[in-house]
Amino acid sequence: MKKITLVLFALLGSYTFSMSQSNTLSNPEVLESTVENARKVTLGLPIGSKFPEFDYVDLAGNRIEYSELRDKLIVLNTWFVGCTGCKQEEENLKKLTEELKDREDIVFLSFAMSSPQKIERYFSKRGDFGYKTASVDRKWVNENFNIELSPTHYIIKEGILVELISIPIYSPQLLDWYKNRILEFSSES
């Protein structure tokens, strides 16, 4: 009984923290502090480094070739089925891709570190979030991107990593921040 109470207390405590933090993000200083703290704990390729090349087939059977995307701003998300933070941000990612769907200079990609069958089952229940999704091996992501946390968001311009952050885009304020970062780097802004 103690274990159940402790687990329940921990879950309720983290939910309360998440909800209270979301409310305080309307304060620009708190939002900036949250982003800076997330950047400090985000491992990965250094900002300004050449992004590793990739060549995959998405779940729809379309080839995703890095060499063909160099003239576009690449917005990439790494995640996996079962990731709590990934679930938290889905609705905001749907809003983001819907708002920017007509931008031919921006491409949204996701590398899901789960099997294609698991991803397809997940999308059949929850819907996708507007990114072209490929199933990739977690080891490949870890070795090439030096990333262990999910979700992690990348913005790549002309083959160079210009933004990297491991944080769920779970609030309207973080969504606005992320959208503004994307638009800052886009060629049509």
Q: pTM for the full model?
A: 0.84
- Residue 70 binned pLDDT confidence (cut-offs 50, 70, 90): confident
Region 63-71 average pLDDT: 92
DSSP letter string over 155-184?
EEETTEEEEEE-----SHHHHHHHHHHHHH
Taking only the tens place, the pLDDT of each residue in 16-40 is 334 445 567 888 888 888 888 887 8
Q: Are 179 and 189 in contact (CB under 8 A)?
A: no
Q: Are 93 and 123 in contact (CB under 8 A)?
A: no
Task: Give the C-alpha separation, 145 to 137, whole Å.
Answer: 12
In this predicted structure, the answer to whether residue 92 has a pLDDT above a threshold of 70 is yes
In order, the DSSP letters of 49-101 are SBPPP-EEE-TTS-EEEGGGSTTSEEEEEEE-TT-HHHHHHHHHHHHHHHHTT
Q: pLDDT, tens digit, for every residue of 98-139?
A: 999 999 999 999 999 999 999 999 999 999 999 999 999 999
The pair of structure tokens assigned to 51 is 């992004």
Instruction: Determine phi and psi for 131, rounding to 5 degrees.
Output: -95, 145
Q: Catalogue all structural domains in the chain, each as residue range(s) with its CATH number.
A: 28-185 (3.40.30.10)
